[in-house]
Structure 1
Amino acid sequence: MSAAPPPGRAEVLAVLAEFGGRSPETVDEELGSLELTWLIAEFEQRHGELAYSDEALDAVRTVTDAVELLRSAVLPPAGVRP
């Protein structure tokens, strides 16, 4: 939806750090359900509605998983121009 660059690890860590009032360096790799909910809500505010399946969301357990989910949810499908 937006022309913003796809989310990267640094952006995800920064958003998670906001949630806990901490620095990005102190964010654990493993995500809790509240952290994931916050993260999804923040990215929906920034990028509009995200496209992901319930199964993909259920599989997110780590920051790395979240980065992959958010990148695929924000980027248009291959061959589709925004």
Structure 2
Amino acid sequence: MTTHTNRTWFDGNGLDGVAVAAITDDLCIVISPLGIVTITGWEHTAVRLDFDDTVDVAAALTEAVRILRDAGHCTGYPDELVAR
């Protein structure tokens, strides 16, 4: 069974070398063959990150999740209880 906290988000590399993760209906992450990560969000706003910036953003988001969990926040997904 695939869970929200223990799953593969990306559809894999297509023939064109692009990997896509559709997180929600209005949040998408695309990895280009050149190593650029594009996060497209609400109202089609986009942020483009090179590898170094992607690593920094991932680390900051990981820390943000820890801070929020420590403050008692949760997603409501049943599998999150296992991931804690």
Q: TM-score, normalised by structure 1?
A: 0.27
The structure where helix makes up a greater share of residues is: 1
Structure number with greater Rg is 2
The structure where strand makes up a greater share of residues is: 2
Using CA pairs below 8 Å that are at least 6 residues apart, which structure has the higher relative contact order? Answer: 1
